[in-house]
Amino acid sequence: MAKAKTKFACQSCGYESPKWMGKCPGCNAWNTMVEETEHVYKHRGGSTSPLLAKKEKATSIVKVDTANEPRISTPYPEFNRVVGGGIVPGSLVLVGGDPGIGKSTLLLQISDALSSQKLKVLYVSGEESIKQTKLRADRLGALSESLYVLCETNMEAIQEAIDEVEPNCLIIDSIQTVFDPSVTSAPGSVSQVRECTGILMRIAKLRGVATFVVGHVTKEGTIAGPRMLEHMVDCVLYFEGERHHTYRVLRAVKNRFGSTNEMGIFEMRESGLTEVSNPSELFLSERPMGASGSAVLASMEGTRPVLVEIQTLVSPTNFPSPRRTATGFDHNRLSLIIAVLEKRNGMHLQHHDAYINVAGGIKIDEPAADLAVAVSLASSLRDRPTKPFDVVFGEIGLTGEVRAVSRVEQRVNEAMKLGFKRVILPENSLKGWTPPVGIEIIGVQTVSDALQTAFD
């Protein structure tokens, strides 16, 4: 009998080494190398699932029929928009988020919505018993004859349940608890996660089962396990938000069937997650009127315009190096805007601390937020409030010019819908569209023009 081989695998990136090392050469993480036995894929014989034994033949691409592959729409437009317009049959979706953020609640509500459309849904929980899942379903009102619940972590038993139920949608909660008996390493290890995800991917593609997999996250906020896990799936969703706040944000960081810039907003209540149909009104509901350091930005989250409040606090400092702190905004971008204000507009910010916050917990990563940040910085430094019904957006260049941005018409219409009276935007963005009646549009070429207009 041959001696079993051992190896050391990094639990963060999947790097393999024949000997132990304190620091992983692949991701430079410390103390992540764990000893594993070299797994050998056993021949299962008659116990092999007929689903995985099915063989596909090569087909000419012009003969592939895609007309009978409609997306599965749910009663949640926020969720549909994030996944690209609906759930694609045969897709493999990875859902990540902090513990207790509401991943299981979201997927159980989606399961109930799909089962109410006469679709079979198999919910496999490796972390909760069937009774615990039933208690959650009672609280959410997710009770349907087409929703099947299974408490199992053995991959072979899960395959047998799939063959028996023949679901249209499969949910695995979570992938770190599932193990394949043919792999000798412990559940949650790199080898187990990779092998189980590969089996689920083959099930999804061969049978056309829409599969959702829940993944744990690390303390850095990324999905635990090898990076290969995110490459194998079709869509990666992050469920974000503060545990002590009621609002949750669903984002797509990878999507083979849609845009990765979309965002869905939900509110956590006792009866489950409810959609927030008008996030602009939500983010501006507590905005103080007449306070300095506040400016309203018209931002784009995918195809949706969202108005958010940019708050800035500029205060003198006694230290030689002033602090630059940004929450919800790129720190490097903040330093660039401060440098432009100092060089091109003569503002003395080198002896002041600057704190910026995007109200509501939302993250802004588009360059169109530059002008609103500059206006709020100037407002706080001069202690002069901006006009309460102004909306500002535009990209700032290093020479102090204001550059054009995309989707101007949608931003202006959103501002007009919420009752704003004036929009300050790049002058080059006025080309190619007709401004609506009832709102004043002011185009600016430089940051100096924008500041003069905002405080005139």
> In a 10 Å sphere around its CB, with 0-12 CB exposed, 13-18 middle and 19+ buried, how is residue 52 labelled?
middle
Q: Does 63 reside within a domain?
A: no
Q: Which residues pair with 247 in a beta bridge?
A: 267
If residue 371 lies in a helix (H) or strand (E), which one and from where to where? helix 370-382
Residue with tokens 């401060």: 338
Query: Does 262 share its domain with 341?
Result: no
Evaluate whether 142 touches 111 at the Cβ level (below 8 Å).
yes
Q: What is the dihedral of CA 361, 310, 410, 452, to 10 degrees?
A: 180
**Cα→Cα distances 102→96, 173, 266, Å:** 10, 12, 10
Domain with residue 131: its CATH number is: 3.40.50.300
Query: Does 264 share its domain with 398?
Result: no
Q: Does 67 reside within a domain?
A: no
Q: Does 65 reside within a domain?
A: no
pLDDT of residue 429: 94
Query: Does 174 share its domain with 268?
Result: yes
- C-alpha 261/C-alpha 281 separation (Å) is 20
Q: Does 117 reside within a domain?
A: yes
Strands 121-125, 147-151: pairing is parallel
Query: Does 234 share its domain with 374?
Result: no
Pick the last residue of a domain from 232, 261, 277: 277
Q: Does 25 reside within a domain?
A: yes
Query: Does 375 share its domain with 440?
Result: yes
Query: Does 196 share its domain with 107?
Result: yes
Q: Does 362 reside within a domain?
A: yes
CB-based contacts of 402, cutoff 8 Å, min separation 6: 371, 394, 395, 396, 426, 427, 444, 445, 446, 447, 449, 450
Evaluate whether 87 touches 169 at the Cβ level (below 8 Å).
yes
What are the binding residues?
97-104
What sign results for the dihedral spanned by CA atoms 192, 196, 197, 202? Answer: positive
Pick the last residue of a domain from 277, 306, 335: 277
Q: Does 106 reside within a domain?
A: yes
Q: pTM for this one?
A: 0.75
- C-alpha 359/C-alpha 380 separation (Å) is 16
Query: Does 235 share its domain with 215?
Result: yes
pLDDT of residue 2: 46
Q: Which 3 state secondary structure label does DSSP give 405?
A: coil
Query: Does 218 share its domain with 265?
Result: yes
Query: Does 346 share its domain with 434?
Result: yes
Q: Does 223 reside within a domain?
A: yes
pLDDT of residue 182: 85
The tens place of each residue's pLDDT in the chain, 456 residues long, gives 445 677 888 877 778 888 899 999 888 888 888 887 764 444 444 445 555 555 678 888 888 776 666 889 999 999 999 999 999 999 999 999 888 889 999 999 999 999 999 999 999 999 899 999 999 999 998 888 999 999 999 999 999 999 999 999 999 998 989 999 988 778 888 888 888 999 999 999 999 999 999 988 876 667 766 677 888 899 999 998 866 678 888 989 899 988 887 888 899 888 899 998 888 888 888 888 888 999 999 999 888 899 999 999 999 998 889 999 999 999 999 999 999 999 999 999 989 999 999 988 788 989 999 999 999 999 999 999 999 999 999 999 999 999 999 999 999 999 999 999 999 999 999 988 888 888 999 999 999 999 999 998
What are the binding residues for ATP?
97-104
Domain residues for the domain of 346 are: 282-454
Total domains in the fold of the chain: 3
Query: Does 309 share its domain with 436?
Result: yes
Query: Does 122 share its domain with 224?
Result: yes
Sequence length of the chain is 456
319 half-sphere exposure, CB direction, 13 A CA radius: 7
Query: Does 412 share its domain with 318?
Result: yes
Pick the last residue of a domain from 215, 249, 277: 277
Other CB atoms within a 10 A radius of the CB of residue 443 amount to 20
Return the ∠ at Cα 394 (arms to 389 and 400), rounded to 5°: 120
pLDDT of residue 70: 82
Domain with residue 375: its CATH number is: 3.30.230.10
